[in-house]
Structure 1
Amino acid sequence: MVRIPGSRRTPVALGLAALLLSGCASFSKDGGLDAVSALTQARTGQAVPLSGAEAGPDLAALLGEPLSADGAVRVALMNNRGLKAALAELGASEADLVQAGRMRNPGLSFSRSHGNGETEIGRGVTFDLIGLLTLPTRSGIERGRFEQAKLAAAAQAVQLAADTRRAYFHAVAARQAVVYMEQAAGAAQAGAELAARMQRAGNWSRLDQARQQVFYADAMTQLARATHGATAARERLTRLLGLWGGQTAFTLPERLPDLPKAADAIANIEALAMERRLDVQMSKHETAASARALGLTRATGVVNVLDAGYANKSVTGKARENGYAIALELPLFDWGGARTAKAQALYMQAVHRTADTAVRARSEVREAYSAYRSSYDVARHHRDEVVPLRKKISDEVLLRYNGMLASVFELLSDAREQIGSVNTAIDTQRDFWIAHTDLESAINGNGGASAKEQQ
């Protein structure tokens, strides 16, 4: 380290300026949550509740009636603990921003030496001059990272909303399937009991009675599987909603929402995704932050330690001496080339990652829109064509059976096909609403599927 003596006015003014600039850095009132809530509401229609807001009354009101898809999203955003933990990360990012806007604490030095009957006392205070000169740049870098943290928090909220909608439609469809399977199992049981009585009376053969009994056994097996599927789907939804205890007794509607009259035709869907997708915006912020960090590294590549301050020395029997001291790091062994190369590599990594994110986003939104349109066409086809035809066939088979023109085997075979047809119709309707959710996520969030589905 090299110390150079000099006058005293410049270091004093420098110290005052450093104190003034450091005092400007402070925490915001909302901790960035207002921006996260606005971003989430613009993409899901639901805002993220403010930190510390009381969710009890609103939560009880929502759970007091059958949940809609929007109601489930609202419950998840206000009650999911995983999201609350993610939002807490905003505080750490804002702390980094505030810290970047503050100067390093000044250094104090004191020395005392004695010899030849004299005592020499040295006093000094130093400030980080490089830190002062680079404070605006460092603050800008952290401000960009704070904006990126807001986008990341909003992305998690949007992802939670999409996952909740998917789980909601799965749970409602599973419940609807259970209700139908209970009816089918009841009818199969009644048929099995009737077949047993008719066989004992000699009106049915053992083969026909056995076929009816097998049909009943198959119906009970399907009912058991459907019941467990409904329980599992409901529990997945419960976890996303963050509910426990008595809250888990919430009710779901009896059936899925009806299909819309027509599928949405979205123009310029790729451009819309580039504008609204949060992962694309995060990648852009990361690239900008890396560019600023690269500029800072190049600016301080040779000299990144420079302290300046006030110095005072007194010697026994002599007048007190005042001046200033400057301490800098001599670039003898490290000229900053490695730091610059690393910053350059990180910047190029961010550039390529941004380009990759944009390519994937464009592909995902095209795929999601194709799935949306095809699932709508399939669901409408089952609703308008397959189910009515299946019912017409069943009515005709029953008439033929009553007229002794069809065997019991034909009747049972038709019943099995009818069960499969209704279950398929429920599945196609569920798949449409999930595809609709995936499309919204592909346009507004991080993609058309949850993180677990992508792995």
Structure 2
Amino acid sequence: MSPSFHFPSALKAPGGLPVLLVPLVLLGLAGCTSLQPDQAVAPVQALTRDHWQADLPWQQNQQARDTAQQRSQALLAQPLDAQAAVQLALLNHRGLQATLYGLGMADADRVQALLWPNPVLNLGRLVRGEETEIERGLFFNLTALLGRGARQTAATQALERQQLEAAQQVLAVAAQARRSWIQAVASQAQLQHAQTVLDAAEAGAELALRMQKAGNISAYRLAREQAVQADARLWVDQTRLQAARDRSALLRALGLDSAAAASLRLPEQLPPVPDSRRSTPALEQQAIDQRLDIQAARRQSSQLAASLGLTRQTRLVNVLQVGYENNRSNTEPTQHGPSLSLELPLFDWGQARTARARQAYEQSLAQTAQVALDAQAEVRDAQLRADQAWRTARRYQQEVLPLARQISDETLLRYNGMLLGVNDLLADAREQARLMTASLAAERDYWLAETDLSQSLLGPLDGAGALRSATAGDASATTPPRNGASAH
């Protein structure tokens, strides 16, 4: 039985307020609450600008969509860097636009919770012989009135929690765009390097063929050089396939169709690895303070706490109904007076609802603690991988490649002094190619690890093996052709 207030049908309600003015007053109170979908979206847009230096416009009409299209075309008119890739993804990702509409819906739910319950007008006409009785009354839902404040708090917190979830989606989209850009640029650089290796292998095979015709090398050595050439061709084919797949993945991450593929231009190589690691003190505490999934879990706990207060407040209200009756008759004097209906709480005192709300609140606290622990572990792992990737990339740049160039210079001097043959020179060139391939892969792995670390400070990574699968790539596409030096 729903509790309600029942006002008389006389000209004035209790307190002297005219009955006809009651709906008008409530209508005026409802008018104080207005829909503000743009303000519901604003916090997500602000976070996007703060953390990614990019815009997330809400494309609610054709003009906004045309403006976004024009901005996309302007970004595609020049070689695309990592920042422009993130901006393109935010402009063209339709799933993000759907999420923004979801925030507008959540704002509508918030306003709905703020509205006063509609009054119920009850009219009745009863005839008994010569007697005609007219009943009139105005009812209000007592439960809705008593719980309005708690519902307002819960609806506001629900909107805030959904805003945090939307921000997590923005974070994932932006991070995926950056990862895809790194992969595509690295694959393109590997393809260019593989083509250079193939050119060298073809030159070596042509030279070996001439020397074999002149009788200077055996057919065995010629076959070895031709095998190296065949491996180089296979490597180019595999690397070309990987580059095409990574480019396709980038187009998908940016929300671009095949028509825009021709306009997409990438830089020739990734940015250089920095000389020093960025200062990262207290990363775990930083993640606890600002990670979006932790904030969302906290919001959920707060929402359940508000729900617990509402349950405690209304658990006994259902057993009470207050009313005021007014009955008029054409033959008898008017009957009026208050009434009280009391439902005997023999079986349901609301204790089960209160207990369930308490258990749900305690469950949310435990889940929040687990989310925080997982976040700390994720940040630690991301930091370890980023530090190791930086050390590896720097070691290639500062030690491995300089030593390889020194060896190459010494090999060339000995070749010019006729101390080494052309085969030794070709073998050294192949070793240089192998080390350069490994160095390019190390640069790619560093930037991917750095992207994961940045994302882990703001939200969860998309799958624990995202980085490992991305950096591993296609083994055949990152492995240079075999070295034929052992045959010489």
TM-score, normalization by structure 1:
0.91
Q: Which whole-Å deviations, capped at 9, do the CAs of 1:31-88 have from their partners, x for residues lacking one?
A: 4111111112222222322444321221111000001100111111111112112222
Gaps of 5+ in 1: none
Distance 1:350 1:33 in 2: 26
Shift of 1:122: 2.0
Q: Does 1:277 align with 2:291?
A: yes
Q: Secondary structure at the match of 1:9?
A: coil
Percent pairwise identity: 40
Q: Which moved more, 1:363-372 or 1:279-288?
A: 363-372
2:4–2:141: 8 Å Cα contact kept in structure 1? Answer: no
Q: Which moved more, 1:356-365 or 1:148-157?
A: 356-365
Distance 1:17 1:342 in 2: 37
Q: Which of residues 167, 170, 173 in structure 1 aligns to 2:180?
A: 167
Change (3 A) 1:453 1:81: same
Shift of 1:410: 4.6
Change (3 A) 1:379 1:449: farther
Q: Which moved more, 1:109-118 or 1:307-316?
A: 307-316
1:106 — aligned with what? 119
2:485 — aligned with what? none
1:38 — aligned with what? 46
1:127–1:309: 8 Å Cα contact kept in structure 2? Answer: no
1:3–1:325: 8 Å Cα contact kept in structure 2? Answer: no
Q: Which of residues 208, 213, 217 in structure 2 aligns to 1:195?
A: 208
2:7–2:14: 8 Å Cα contact kept in structure 1? Answer: no
2:212–2:218: 8 Å Cα contact kept in structure 1? Answer: yes
AA at the equivalent of 1:210:
A
Distance 1:61 1:25 in 2: 41
Q: Which of residues 452, 471, 475 in structure 2 aligns to 1:438?
A: 452
Q: Which of residues 395, 399, 407 in structure 2 aligns to 1:381?
A: 395
Distance 1:376 1:230 in 2: 24
Shift of 1:327: 6.6
Change (3 A) 1:406 1:330: farther
Q: Which moved more, 1:329-338 or 1:429-438?
A: 329-338
Distance 2:275 2:136 in 1: 83
Q: Which moved more, 1:105-114 or 1:135-144?
A: 105-114
Q: Which of residues 14, 18, 41 in structure 2 aligns to 1:9?
A: 14
Shift of 1:25: 2.4
Within a 5 Å distance, the mapping from 1:18-29 to structure 2 comes to 18-28=26-36
Shift of 1:185: 0.9
1:212 — aligned with what? 225
AA at the equivalent of 2:309:
G
1:311–1:325: 8 Å Cα contact kept in structure 2? Answer: yes
Q: Does 1:86 align with 2:99?
A: yes
Shift of 1:430: 1.1
Q: Which of residues 237, 244, 247 in structure 2 aligns to 1:224?
A: 237
Distance 2:79 2:136 in 1: 75
Q: Secondary structure at the match of 1:66?
A: coil
Q: Which of residues 303, 324, 328 in structure 2 aligns to 1:289?
A: 303
Q: Secondary structure at the match of 1:243?
A: coil
2:140 — aligned with what? 127
Change (3 A) 1:59 1:130: same
Distance 2:371 2:239 in 1: 39
Change (3 A) 1:213 1:328: farther
AA at the equivalent of 2:303:
A
Distance 1:327 1:3 in 2: 10
Q: Does 1:153 align with 2:185?
A: no
Distance 2:318 2:22 in 1: 18
Shift of 1:117: 2.6
1:174–1:233: 8 Å Cα contact kept in structure 2? Answer: yes
1:356 — aligned with what? 370
Q: Which moved more, 1:346-355 or 1:360-369?
A: 360-369
Gaps of 5+ in 2: 470-488
Distance 1:360 1:5 in 2: 54
Shift of 1:324: 6.2
Change (3 A) 1:383 1:5: closer
Change (3 A) 1:451 1:34: farther
Distance 2:171 2:38 in 1: 20
Change (3 A) 1:256 1:305: farther
Distance 1:117 1:451 in 2: 83
Shift of 1:424: 0.9
What is the root-mean-square deviation of aligned Cα atoms in Å?
Answer: 2.8
Change (3 A) 1:239 1:361: same
Q: Which of residues 341, 347, 358 in structure 2 aligns to 1:344?
A: 358
Distance 1:334 1:42 in 2: 52
Shift of 1:93: 1.3
AA at the equivalent of 1:208:
R
TM-score, normalization by structure 2:
0.85
AA at the equivalent of 2:299:
H
AA at the equivalent of 1:181:
A
Q: Does 1:136 align with 2:149?
A: yes
Q: Secondary structure at the match of 1:265?
A: coil
Distance 1:41 1:328 in 2: 57
Change (3 A) 1:41 1:3: closer
1:261 — aligned with what? 275
Shift of 1:128: 1.2
Q: Which whole-Å deviations, capped at 9, do the CAs of 1:384-419 have from their partners, x for residues lacking one?
A: 111121222234345545655446665554444322
Q: Secondary structure at the match of 1:30?
A: helix
Q: Secondary structure at the match of 1:105?
A: coil
Distance 1:170 1:346 in 2: 43
AA at the equivalent of 1:44:
W
Distance 1:407 1:271 in 2: 60
Change (3 A) 1:126 1:309: farther
1:130–1:307: 8 Å Cα contact kept in structure 2? Answer: no
Distance 1:257 1:328 in 2: 76
Q: Does 1:49 align with 2:63?
A: no
